[in-house]
Structure 1
Amino acid sequence: MMYYLESGSHDPGFNLALEQYVFDRMDRAHAYCMLWQNDNAIIVGKNQNTVGEINAAYVKEHGIRVVRRLSGGGAVYHDLGNINFTFIVDSGATAAFDFSTFCRPIVKALEHFGVHAEINGRNDMTIDGKKFSGNSQYGKQGRTMHHGTILYDSDLEVVGKALTVSRDKLEGKGIQSVRSRVTNVRPYIAGDISTEAFFAALRDFLFQEYALQPYRLSQGQLAEIRALQAERYDQWSWNYGASPAYRLRKARQVDGCGKLEIFLDVQKGILRDVAFYGDYFGNEDTQSLARRLSGCPMEAAAIRTALKDLEIGTYFNHMDLETFLEVLLQ
């Protein structure tokens, strides 16, 4: 059975805490679907260096909340013209990054409204080649959480001004700006359907598609979610964290994986500290990889020996060891 939950809150901290609560604590015998909205927020990926992803002055001036999510991928802007969807399911012993399974219902729903959408790239959905949805996944102990955005009637000027897009992404894809490569869905919908009306219609479609059953959170559950919000999603240490101390920075846009930044402290040829950032996806926490590399000489043979029993692809999806070594040692 798949249950449907609706937050009713536009607070990004609460909504991300709600997702985590459902993922961690609710009955795994069932699957869960959610539609939700955040007001005026940037949601950064788990592995990103927040200060490098946002236009800090613009964010402060316009009172935009910045909150880190559990999943990898890139930063996204949310306002009340944007609709977010979440699926939480058991995925077996390993949580593979299968974005298409969870994007197809949205593509199918848009077809119902006369809009032809496509699933493209690692984790995007597009209309006429322009992105309207970015998607991300988080996996743990055979459980998968997939969430995505639907730019329905968002302020695209704010999207372009609030997010700082790295130059290698722009140059690598021949893109002039964030604004030029994204679109809202609303212009493609026949008739003038408001965001609220589209939200309700999308919810009705998903209820029919999955035979959803509504789930009402108890007051006790809501209190636990708020406690989780206060403990994690309202904390500067989670959303920003300390800037890494480093002597060297390596960066590469890797096909099929995403952007990887490596911050290194190397003393007398020995790797003393390392931190990984980027919009990549991975099932394992890179802190364990960093611990394995600490104290290792900065040369290929020594690093191969240190990592001989590790699968790099579990940390950086679609990356192999040789590519990792190229980025680290270039």
Structure 2
Amino acid sequence: MYYVKNERNGEEIHDASVNLAIEYYLLNEVELDEPILLFYINDNSIIIGKNQNTYEEVNTQYVEEHGVNVVRRFSGGGAVYHDLGVLCFCFITKDDGDSFRNFKKFTQPVIDALHKMGVEDAELRGRNDLVIGDKKFSGNAMYSKNGRMTAHGTLMFDSKIDAVVGALRPKKHKLESKGIKSIRSRVTNITPYMDDEYQTMNTKEFRERLLLNIFDVDTIEDVQEYVLTDEDWDNIDKFAEKYTANWDWNYGESPNFDLERSERFEGVGTVEVKLNVDKGIITDIKMFGDFFGMGEIEDVEKELVGIKYEYDAIEDALEKIDLKKYIGNITAKEVTSLIY
């Protein structure tokens, strides 16, 4: 495995739009003979899932008042808050056909490293969360393209939890489905659970300790690296300009819709549908959510535009689509009942 430092001219990058551009540049353009590991630490940011509606996930007033950067990633899943107390990790590898949605495969090296530092109760629970007891400290997501995939997540090492509470707007039914009352009641930092010898570490020292454990080496100099070249950086800049640093990509327009439906499905996540119907015909439809899909959800939307707003017509159209590819383990009947 190769480790890639997110450093330019000797300076570490803390801009989320650049760090996500590095990640997806490596995924799309840099194919090495072994998997790639990328760690990065972002300044105050909210990272939105590929299929989410930014306006409904973010407390825009808080974001504007506190200078929080909002960036959309290419993977599904939910919105997460980053600050200098959060360590982000990313594994990039070939997609062998069996790894997508297999979060255990990619989170186990991190869990094993945490166990070595005294966090004995750290484990993967549910679809994609790492927890200590009943409290979450990591959310994870995946994205696959052209035979390669990225599996990435956050580690709340010493994050400002009050900022997490202020910046995000979790949906009411999501809270109810998990039997919780607030973000504050279900998240935690890793630091309090670590052995005494690690209590004084900062986020960068924590990252170094993880690297030593994951690569199973004694010194950081023994970690195998791929160093970003000037040509790499030129391409990363172009990628950021087109996507992660682009307002249209991160926010986009939020048009008005006549009908709105939202439901949380076990093992899939939240699926939200907004649509316009004119004279009994679906004229426009958008699907949002924190689900994980390998395909572009726009493909599903296109198949529904122009059909009758009738149960049987909608179900017939959805039966022709591989919904598992786009949304997850969900049936045409379930999606139809949501839309109609």
Shared fold by TM > 0.5?
yes
**Among 143, 153, 166, the residue aligned to 1:138:** 143
CA contact (8 A) 2:315 2:333 kept: no
Match of 1:184 in 2: 189
CA contact (8 A) 1:94 1:141 kept: no
Match of 2:332 in 1: 321
Deviations 1:131-189 (A, max 9, x none): 00000000112211000000000000100111011111122222111011000000011
Please state whether the residue corresponding to 1:310 is helix, strand or coil: coil
Match of 1:5 in 2: 4
Deviations 1:89-116 (A, max 9, x none): 1122576211110010111001101112
Please state whether the residue corresponding to 2:329 is helix, strand or coil: coil
Structure 2 unmatched ranges of 5 or more = 7-11
Match of 2:245 in 1: 234
Match of 2:269 in 1: 258
Q: How many angstroms does 1:25 deviate by?
A: 0.2
**Among 293, 310, 315, the residue aligned to 1:304:** 315
RMSD of Structure 2 on Structure 1 (CA): 1.4
% of aligned pairs identical? 39
Q: How many angstroms does 1:79 deviate by?
A: 0.5
CA contact (8 A) 1:93 1:141 kept: no
Deviations 1:281-307 (A, max 9, x none): 111111111111111112232223323
Match of 2:9 in 1: none
Q: How many angstroms does 1:28 deviate by?
A: 5.2
Number of aligned residues: 327
Give, in whole Å, the separation in 1 of the partners of 2:131 and 2:61. Answer: 30
What aligned pairs does 1:83-98 form with structure 2 within 5 A after superposition? 83-93=87-97, 96-98=100-102
Pick closer, same or farther for the CA change 1:174–1:93 going to 2, 3 Å. closer
What aligned pairs does 1:1-330 form with structure 2 within 5 A after superposition? 2-7=1-6, 8-27=12-31, 29-93=33-97, 96-116=100-120, 117-191=122-196, 192-195=199-202, 196-208=204-216, 213-329=224-340
Give, in whole Å, the separation in 2 of the partners of 1:155 and 1:62. Answer: 13
TM-score after normalising by structure 1: 0.96
TM-score after normalising by structure 2: 0.93
Please state whether the residue corresponding to 1:175 is helix, strand or coil: coil
Pick closer, same or farther for the CA change 1:308–1:317 going to 2, 3 Å. closer
Deviations 1:71-90 (A, max 9, x none): 00000000110001000111
Please state whether the residue corresponding to 2:42 is helix, strand or coil: coil
Q: How many angstroms does 1:242 deviate by?
A: 0.4
Q: How many angstroms does 1:208 deviate by?
A: 1.6
Letter of the aligned partner of 1:193 in structure 2? Answer: T
Give, in whole Å, the separation in 1 of the partners of 2:277 and 2:295. Answer: 24
